[in-house]
């Protein structure tokens, strides 16, 4: 599987989110052959909805699937607890992570559940998120549920 070509789709979503003024996390769900089932992005800012993360958006757009064990969820940033819970709840077999430098996520918790985690350490994903955190730290800390006073 060419994970880089799958990651490009998630990255395009993240870039669109960035251009919209939103949190630049994009994701896409694929079947075992790499066919796209759904794609989406974090729309906390755009829709005033903190429950729309990249992963949940792609997951919902893909609609009902009978089995998730053979599916591949690609995300530009390591999944938060909310999205990690979704991955475990539906037994998604493979998670491709664009980067885990700006946010480490809970990748060991996924691996413990038998999820195959592929870390891409992608420079484009890292640079986009770094830029967003530098320009909009208040939105970022709101998104990851951390209160920063002062």
Q: Which of 92, 35, 50, 101 is nearest to 69 (CA)?
A: 92
Q: Which of 89, 77, 88 is nearest to 53 (CA)?
A: 77
DSSP state of 100: -
Task: Give least dist CB 53 to Zn ion, A.
Answer: 3
Catalytic residue among 13, 19, 20, 55: 55
Nearer to Zn ion, 35 or 48 (CB): 48
Task: Give least dist CB 106 to Zn ion, A.
Answer: 10
d(CA 62, CA 73): 11
For this structure, is 55 an active site residue?
Answer: yes
Task: Using CB under 5 A, list all residues that contact Zn ion.
Answer: 53, 80, 82-83
Nearer to Zn ion, 32 or 109 (CB): 109
Catalytic residues: 55
């Amino acid at each position: 599987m060419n994970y880089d070509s799958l990651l490009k789709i998630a990255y395009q979503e993240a870039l669109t989110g960035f251009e919209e003024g939103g949190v630049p996390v994009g994701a896409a769900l694929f079947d075992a052959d790499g066919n796209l089932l759904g794609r989406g992005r974090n729309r906390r800012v755009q829709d005033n909805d903190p429950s729309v993360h990249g992963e949940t958006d792609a997951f919902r757009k893909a609609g009902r699937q009978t089995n998730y064990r053979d599916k591949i969820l690609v995300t530009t940033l390591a999944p938060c607890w909310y999205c990690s819970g979704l991955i475990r709840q539906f037994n998604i077999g493979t998670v491709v992570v664009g980067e885990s430098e700006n946010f480490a996520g809970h990748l060991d918790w996924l691996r413990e559940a038998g999820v195959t985690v592929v870390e891409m350490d992608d420079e484009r994903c890292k640079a986009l998120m770094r830029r967003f955190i530098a320009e909009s730290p208040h939105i970022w800390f709101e998104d990851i549920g951390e209160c920063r006073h002062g």
